[in-house]
Structure 1
Amino acid sequence: MRRRLIQSTLAVVLVVIAVFGVSLVIVETRTISNSAQERVESEAVRLASIVDSRILAAENVNADVLRNPVSKDQYAVIRMPGKPPIEIGDRPEGDTIHSTQRGEEGETVTVQEPRSAVTREVGRTLLIIGLVALLAVVAAVLLAVRQANRLASPLTDLAETAERLGSGDPRPRHKRYGVPELDRVADVLDASAERIGRMLTAERRLAADASHQLRTPLTALSMRLEEITLTDDPDTVKEEATIALTQVERLTDVVQRLLTNSRDPRTGSAVTFDLDEVIQQQLAEWRPAYRGVGRAIVSSGKRHLQAVGTPGAVAQVLAALIENSLMHGGGTVALRTRVTGNQAVIEVTDEGPGVPADLGARIFERTISGRNSTGIGLAVARDLAEADGGRLELLQAQPPVFGLFLSRTPPARALDDDQPTVR
């Protein structure tokens, strides 16, 4: 593009120089020639008037008297009746410019000037015009290079920005070039980069959440299958298989919820459910794991509580808290239920060292972890709790007490959906 811009600008300048330069050369050549002819004619008239005046005054007319007015490049011949001709200067050779004037006393004055003098003057004029044209070409090239760089460099930068976007680097450059059209393209690319960055962040977050949410039911399912492989008792196999099927259903529910949220994160599925069923399900799932490390998991508190939310999501939150206690806590893990105001609360606590002071305020942030773990479990749990109007909080750091708060009042939307529709 730079080369095309330079070539086009140079072509325009050359055309302009050619058109106006040729015209100027023609005009200047004619002007110089006319000026030389007028100069010779004027000199002939002047000499004729001098000769007339001296003849009338009866004064002597000779070459010495008339030599000073005549230019050194000119040759003059004065012919008077009855007298020999008077020559002034050297007779020019070759082509000449001449003029002949007749005086009132019958004398004839002829002035000649070599055309080579005119040619030299025309040459000097052409040289000046050529130098000016050369300077114009150089200035045009410099201007064209500057303008080409001003236009081509931004386009190169914009192409690099587009290539970076295509390669998965959505960082906006926020670079402007002082050209409104190019700045408009840069604005659009930066806006696109920001949107792509947000989309990639959301996709990565969804992938991380999905992997974490699927890991827990898969772990529980794996434990049940291990129990089946270690026993020969048909009743135990049947019981463990039933629990494994429950885990498969839960896994299916997690996948369905992830797909629903990926299509529309605002879609909710909150219902009124029995907390005891979810808690007992979690106890049954995690007891083998706790028993394997010599620890216990128990439940206490108010029974038969009804709460509003998504049972699968609540189970995921409790599973994240229980798994967190298994990995980072110690002693017996207790799930306690209570009521505060219009909310049902499930507290999960253990006898471990608790949450470090430097992590207490940031425990629910992503990538924050006290040990070698993913650091997204509690963040995902809080997101799941808030999706249906609940909340997850750290009530106490040492010993650790996490509280899951769920509403006990069905949402207004659910009440409206139960009303009959009048058609």
Structure 2
Amino acid sequence: MDAVPRTAPLRRRLLVTIAGITAVAVALLIIPLAVAVQRLYRNEAVTKLERDATRVAATAPDDEARHPRPIRLPEGLNERLRVGIYGIDGNLLTGEGPPHSGAARQARDGRLHQRDEHGRLVVTAPIPSDEGVTSVARVGMPERVVTRRIERAWWVMAAFALLIIGLAAFVARYQSRRLARPLERLTAAAQALGDGDFTVRARSSGVLEADEAGRALEVTARRLGSMLDRERAFSADVSHQLRTPLTGLLLGLESALERPGADLEAAVRTAVRRGEHLRDIIGDLLSLARDAAPNRERLDVPGLLEELRLRPPAGRPLEVAARGPLPEVHASASAVRQILGVLLDNAQAHGAGRVTVEASDIGGGLAIDVSDEGPGVTETEDIFARRHSGGVGDGGHGIGLALARALAEAEGGRLVLRRPSPPIFTLLLPASEPMSEPAPEAADDDGA
């Protein structure tokens, strides 16, 4: 299996990219500038030599070709110059220079000429006379003088180029660290989130995109943490909801088996009824767990009340009533069924006397009251707080009411204790908004 190629880190790529682009830009600027400087310095040297050669030619005697004699140099002439007088045949007449000069032979046309001879930059100027051009003044300087000046300029330019590239590399390193650090922190936060740490917090980095990604990751972590907490609470609630009917079913069967002369057929019927009730609870809880989004269909309130009437609490009278026309409500039937089931179980376990379920229109919503004739609860007791049940007969309300309130709020409603003694629990569900009728289409001018 081929190994997956690893890409370079972002910091290195940014550093190499920025420094490379800067180096190319500097090279594109420096190379033409270096060529221009070379030409400038050479032309400047040639211009000075032409001026000096013209001065020498102007002061030299015009009969040097017939009567050669030592040269009298003009004042202020550079001491490094080698000055000689040549004939038009290119041979040295007097002064300094090679025995023969091609540049001197070219000056017979009466113009200035420049060329490189014997490692020197040479300029020749014709010496005017009545007979025409009979001799030539030749002025030369060491070419290395110009070359050294050009090289010094090149070294200065190279130093500036290296300085610019170094500054670019420094800025690139700073920018790469500034851009890479937020991404590295996001990577670490994502890995921590994958390991189950939902306390991810985004730190401001000054990079807009990275800050937005960090805030999005923080919001996602919070949502996942909240979702996981709800899932854990829901699992505990489901366990509680299933444990009570399952315990009742098992206790009924064990009691029938242990009591001599017990009516086994009645015990089986009771167990079947409790098993069907347990099956309905499991189906409702699975339906609630599978729905990622609220499934709020039109709630059949009369049908739901009829289900309650057919399954009254064991050994307790149940009265179910609907007061007046009921508003249309959209909510999950499974959720409402579970809420009412919790309230009925609570009334059976902790209440006394008749249990009453009453549905009514409260103007803008539906209210379902569940009450009994028991002593109720104290004013200060938080019965909706989530806490573990200590078992049958502990006198507490366990976590059933907490589950019922959570389901009610998930459906957009509320579950409240309207009266503590005798207790009345009220489930409030908002009425559905009436659908607006479509506007009639405009009739054509001809009445069609």
Q: TM-score, normalised by structure 2?
A: 0.64
RMSD: 4.5
Q: Which of 138, 143, 146 is 1:118 aligned to?
A: 146
Q: 2:279 matched to 1:252?
A: yes
SS of 1:73's partner is coil
User: CA, structure 1 residues 348+372, in 2 after alignment: closer, same or farther (shift >3 Å)?
Assistant: closer
User: CA, structure 1 residues 336+140, in 2 after alignment: closer, same or farther (shift >3 Å)?
Assistant: same
- 2:375·2:423 contact (CA, 8 Å) conserved in 1? no
CA distance, structure 2, for counterparts of residue 167 and residue 221 of structure 1: 41
Give the equivalent residue in structure 1 for 2:53: 44
- 2:193·2:200 contact (CA, 8 Å) conserved in 1? no
Give the equivalent residue in structure 2 for 1:231: 259
Partner amino acid, structure 2, of 1:319 = D
Offset at 1:204?
A: 3.3
SS of 2:254's partner is helix
CA distance, structure 2, for counterparts of residue 162 and residue 388 of structure 1: 33
Offset at 1:213?
A: 1.2
- 2:385·2:402 contact (CA, 8 Å) conserved in 1? yes
Offset at 1:124?
A: 0.4
> Which structure 2 residues correspond to residues 2-41 of structure 1 after superposition, within 5 A?
2-41=11-50
Structure 1 or 2: larger helix share? 1
- 1:347·1:404 contact (CA, 8 Å) conserved in 2? no
Q: Which of 102, 122, 134 is 1:98 aligned to?
A: 122
> Residue deviations 1:225-269, cap 9 Å, x none?
33134322232x444333322221221111121123232453545
CA distance, structure 1, for counterparts of residue 83 and residue 413 of structure 2: 119
Give the equivalent residue in structure 2 for 1:404: 425
Segments of structure 1 that go 5 or more residues without pairing to the other structure are 56-60, 285-298, 326-332, 413-423
Give the equivalent residue in structure 2 for 1:318: 344
- 2:338·2:404 contact (CA, 8 Å) conserved in 1? no
CA distance, structure 1, for counterparts of residue 412 and residue 26 of structure 2: 78
- 1:214·1:254 contact (CA, 8 Å) conserved in 2? yes
Identity %: 28
CA distance, structure 1, for counterparts of residue 258 and residue 144 of structure 2: 123
Offset at 1:402?
A: 3.2
Partner amino acid, structure 2, of 1:6 = L
User: CA, structure 1 residues 384+28, in 2 after alignment: closer, same or farther (shift >3 Å)?
Assistant: closer
- 2:126·2:135 contact (CA, 8 Å) conserved in 1? yes
Segments of structure 2 that go 5 or more residues without pairing to the other structure are 1-9, 88-92, 98-116, 324-332, 361-367, 433-448
Q: Which of 241, 247, 266 is 1:213 aligned to?
A: 241
CA distance, structure 1, for counterparts of residue 29 and residue 279 of structure 2: 84
Partner amino acid, structure 1, of 2:352 = A
Partner amino acid, structure 2, of 1:141 = A
> Residue deviations 1:302-346, cap 9 Å, x none?
x744359967653432323555x4xxxxxxx52455699957551
Q: 2:153 matched to 1:128?
A: no
- 2:245·2:278 contact (CA, 8 Å) conserved in 1? yes
Offset at 1:166?
A: 3.7
Partner amino acid, structure 2, of 1:76 = V
- 1:391·1:404 contact (CA, 8 Å) conserved in 2? yes
Offset at 1:86?
A: 5.7
CA distance, structure 2, for counterparts of residue 26 and residue 70 of structure 1: 29
Q: TM-score, normalised by structure 1?
A: 0.67
User: CA, structure 1 residues 77+374, in 2 after alignment: closer, same or farther (shift >3 Å)?
Assistant: farther
SS of 1:99's partner is strand
CA distance, structure 1, for counterparts of residue 400 and residue 280 of structure 2: 18
> Which structure 2 residues correspond to residues 376-391 of structure 1 after superposition, within 5 A?
376-383=399-406, 391=415
CA distance, structure 1, for counterparts of residue 78 and residue 427 of structure 2: 119
SS of 1:69's partner is coil
- 1:274·1:307 contact (CA, 8 Å) conserved in 2? no
SS of 1:334's partner is coil
User: CA, structure 1 residues 171+374, in 2 after alignment: closer, same or farther (shift >3 Å)?
Assistant: farther
User: CA, structure 1 residues 69+234, in 2 after alignment: closer, same or farther (shift >3 Å)?
Assistant: same
> Which structure 2 residues correspond to residues 132-171 of structure 1 after superposition, within 5 A?
132-170=160-198
Offset at 1:140?
A: 2.1
Give the equivalent residue in structure 2 for 1:272: 305
Aligned length: 361
Q: Which of 329, 347, 351 is 2:372 aligned to?
A: 347
SS of 1:124's partner is helix
Partner amino acid, structure 1, of 2:243 = R
- 1:347·1:402 contact (CA, 8 Å) conserved in 2? yes
User: CA, structure 1 residues 143+110, in 2 after alignment: closer, same or farther (shift >3 Å)?
Assistant: same
CA distance, structure 2, for counterparts of residue 140 and residue 390 of structure 1: 64
